[in-house]
Structures are given as structure tokens and as C-alpha cells.
């Protein structure tokens, strides 16, 4: 089973009770992620963020529903329903996606082991992902940004599963010839880019951050291919919104709009670096029908 699930938790508590300000940017909407409509309307996420393969979105969404119900039996009865949030890429080159191998327990296990320390490359949802026809998967990077006398962090985690070999660009330089065999084949990959920051931002500002994920993506060689679901989501850990309308709303002083440029640059750089990191850490995987993806360092030993 060359597939899996990755879970990102914005905080340690119930995301339903303590909703997290968030916004998404659909860079290219050839994708099957669920949960973005309500997130766009309300500006919050209310479950952890799950990443998996395309055909496993339903089973993971259902696992999120059951998890929320187990925690809060009022959901769907005296309380409103819960909005699952599942992103996907198609790992069908290495994984036999038609087997629908992912189980609800894969979600709960990934959820429970989520921690500040985590592996990169061919792990979790990244297990079967390809990137530039090499082995891709999970990558992460972060930047610190000074605003006035305060210091904030922007962190990116990507599920990288896009690109043709001829496009691969590291530090601005193409690694392969543009005349690769199959260079004209359509791209069938995708990339999910999750951004977290401790800067206090409202959903509209987070949407502006998410839009800069495309900068980092473009610099690795992507043209946002027709068949690639390229989606970014940004959330802030600086505060939460209470579920109960009787609870007090937080009074937050957001970052002044003119101070966003540093955060924008941090997003661009951390996304680009996350993609490189996914390639760097991913180990070669042999998958269905003898398909193999080489690790970056196998394909380009001079990088080592």
C-alpha cells in the first residue's frame, strides 16, 4: 500500500469548539478537496487538516465526521453540523488508487501521532506521491519575519505531487533538458500547500498569504498545469473563535496591512523550500505495476 494520510492540527484542543481563522486560495481547481466552500464563507476551519490520495477523500472525511461526533455528540443535533477538511493529490502512478486502501484508522492514527517533530518525503500522504517524475511527498520549511519589534513565524507544509521532469528548477536553474521524453504528456499531479503563522491575521489577510504560495510553486518550475489541483490554505494560531455564540469573541489587533510584505516573502520562500525539501527527503519507492520513482539524489547525484 503506497499511500497514506497526513494530519495537521492547528492546536491541541477541539477545533470545533475553538475554530481557527483560515482561508484558502485555489490556484488551479482541478482537484477534489472538500471543505473549502464553508471555509471561504466563514473564514475558519473546525477540524484538523487532512491530506490523502484522491479517491480516499470520502473515507477520511467520514473519519473526521465520526471523530467530531465522538468528541461532541451535540453536533448535528442541538449544534450545527461539522465541516470536514480534506485535501488530496493523485498518487496513482505508484499507488493502485482503485483499491481504495486508506481506512478511517489511518486518519485517526495520523491524527494521534501528529507532533511538532515529523518526517518528510515518502511519509504519510506523501508515500505514493511523485514530483517532477521523481519521488515527491511531504516537505516543510519556515521563515521568521520581523514586524516592528515583534517576530513571527511562517511555516509551510506541502504535499508535492506535480510537475514534469523538464520543468524541474532548483534555485532558479533547470536541472533537465526541456526536450525530455514525454514532455508533452499532460500533467496529472497536484500540490497542496498548507501555511501556518502565529501572526494575528484575519481570514481576508490569510487569503492574501495563501495567494503567495503560488510564487514559490512557480519558481520550482510549475506552470499550474491544467490537470493539477494546486491549492493553498493559510491559518493563524494567534487566536481562536468560540463555537458557542454565548462565549466572548476575542478582541484582536491584526497586523497592519502595510506590514504584510514580509509575510508574503516568507510564504513564497517557505513554499519553494518545502518543495525542495520534499524532493530532498523522499526515498525511492517501487509501486504498482513495477512503477518506480527515483529519489532526487539518485537522479542527480551531483546534488548530493
> Interaction with its own copies in 200-219: which residues (CB under 8 A)?
202-204, 208, 211-212, 214-215, 218-219
Q: Does residue number 84 form part of the binding site for its own copies (CB under 8 A)?
A: yes
CA distances from 207 to 35, 165, 215, 260 (A): 15, 30, 14, 12
Residue bearing cell 481570514: 203
**Contact in structure between 284 and 293 (CB atoms under 8 Å):** yes
Q: What letter does residue 103 receive in the DSSP assignment?
A: -
Helix (H) or strand (E) segment spanning residue 286 = strand 285-286
Of these, 20, 45, 49, 59, which contacts its own copies (CB under 8 A)? 59
Of these, 9, 14, 17, 38, which contacts its own copies (CB under 8 A)? 38
Of these, 1, 11, 13, 41, which contacts its own copies (CB under 8 A)? 41
- Please provide the DSSP assignment of 119-182 as one string: --BSSGGGTT-EETTEE-EEEEEEEEEEETTEEEEEEEEEEEE---GGG-EETTEE-S-TT-TT
Contacting range for its own copies; rule: CB under 8 A; set: 4-12, 113-121, 164-172, 273-281? 164-172
Q: Does residue number 35 form part of the binding site for its own copies (CB under 8 A)?
A: yes
Footprint (CB under 8 A) of its own copies, residues 216-235? 218-219, 222-227, 229, 231
How near is the Cβ of 148 to its own copies at its closest, in Å?
8
Footprint (CB under 8 A) of its own copies, residues 257-286? 257-262, 264-265, 267-268
Distance CA 101, CA 124 (A): 13
How near is the Cβ of 118 to its own copies at its closest, in Å?
26
How near is the Cβ of 4 to its own copies at its closest, in Å?
17
**Contact in structure between 256 and 150 (CB atoms under 8 Å):** no
Nearer to its own copies, 13 or 250 (CB): 250
Contacting range for its own copies; rule: CB under 8 A; set: 128-136, 153-161, 239-247, 294-302? 239-247
Torsion of CA 111, 112, 113, 115, to 10 degrees: 80
Nearer to its own copies, 24 or 134 (CB): 24
Torsion of CA 180, 161, 99, 124, to 10 degrees: 140
- What is the CA 270 to chain-centroid distance, rounded? 13
Active site amino acids: 190, 228, 230
Footprint (CB under 8 A) of its own copies, residues 61-80? 61-62, 65-66, 69, 73, 75-77, 80
Contacting range for its own copies; rule: CB under 8 A; set: 9-17, 59-67, 105-113, 128-136? 59-67
Footprint (CB under 8 A) of its own copies, residues 92-151? 92, 97-98, 100
Nearer to its own copies, 264 or 280 (CB): 264
Of 156, 152, 118, the closest CA to residue 140 belongs to 156
CA distances from 198 to 75, 85, 118, 208, 232 (A): 29, 21, 19, 15, 17
Interface size with its own copies, residues (CB under 8 A) = 90
How near is the Cβ of 261 to its own copies at its closest, in Å?
5
Strand-pair category, 49-53 with 86-89: parallel
Q: Does residue number 37 form part of the binding site for its own copies (CB under 8 A)?
A: yes
Nearer to its own copies, 12 or 249 (CB): 249
Amino acid at each position: 500500500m503506497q499511500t497514506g494520510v497526513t494530519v495537521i492540527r492547528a492546536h491541541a484542543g477541539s477545533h470545533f469548539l475553538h475554530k481557527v481563522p483560515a482561508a484558502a486560495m485555489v490556484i488551479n481547481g482541478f482537484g477534489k478537496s472538500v471543505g473549502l466552500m464553508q471555509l471561504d464563507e466563514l473564514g475558519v476551519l473546525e477540524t484538523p487538516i487532512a491530506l490523502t490520495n484522491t479517491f480516499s477523500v470520502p473515507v477520511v472525511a467520514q473519519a473526521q465526521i465520526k471523530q467530531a461526533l465522538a468528541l461532541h455528540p451535540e453536533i448535528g443535533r442541538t449544534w450545527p453540523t461539522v465541516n470536514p477538511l480534506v485535501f488530496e493529490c493523485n498518487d496513482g502512478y505508484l499507488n493502485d488508487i482503485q483499491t481504495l486502501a486508506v481506512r478511517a484508522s489511518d486518519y485517526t492514527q495520523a491524527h494521534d501521532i501528529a507532533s511538532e517533530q515529523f518526517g518528510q518525503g515518502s511519509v504519510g500522504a506523501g508515500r505514493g506521491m511523485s514530483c517532477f517524475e521523481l519521488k515527491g511527498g511531504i516537505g516543510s520549511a519556515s521563515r521568521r519575519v520581523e514586524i516592528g519589534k515583534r517576530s513571527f513565524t511562517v511555516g509551510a507544509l506541502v504535499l508535492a505531487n506535480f510537475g514534469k521532469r523538464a520543468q524541474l528548477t532548483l534555485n532558479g536553474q533547470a536541472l533537465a533538458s526541456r526536450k525530455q521524453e514525454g514532455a508533452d504528456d499532460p500533467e496529472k499531479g497536484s500540490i497542496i500547500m498548507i501555511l501556518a503563522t502565529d501572526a494575528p491575521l484575519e481570514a481576508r489577510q490569510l487569503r492574501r498569504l495563501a495567494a503567495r504560495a503560488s510564487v514559490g510553486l512557480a519558481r520550482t518550475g510549475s506552470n499550474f498545469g491544467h490537470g493539477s489541483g494546486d491549492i493553498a490554505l493559510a491559518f493563524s494560531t494567534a487566536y481562536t473563535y468560540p463555537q458557542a455564540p454565548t462565549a466572548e469573541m476575542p478582541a484582536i489587533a491584526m497586523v497592519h496591512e502595510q506590514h504584510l510584505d514580509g509575510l508574503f516573502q516568507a510564504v513564497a520562500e517557505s513554499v519553494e523550500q518545502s518543495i525542495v525539501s520534499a524532493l530532498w527527503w523522499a526515498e525511492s519507492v517501487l509501486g504498482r505495476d513495477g512503477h518506480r520513482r527515483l529519489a532526487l539524489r539518485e537522479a542527480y547525484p551531483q546534488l548530493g
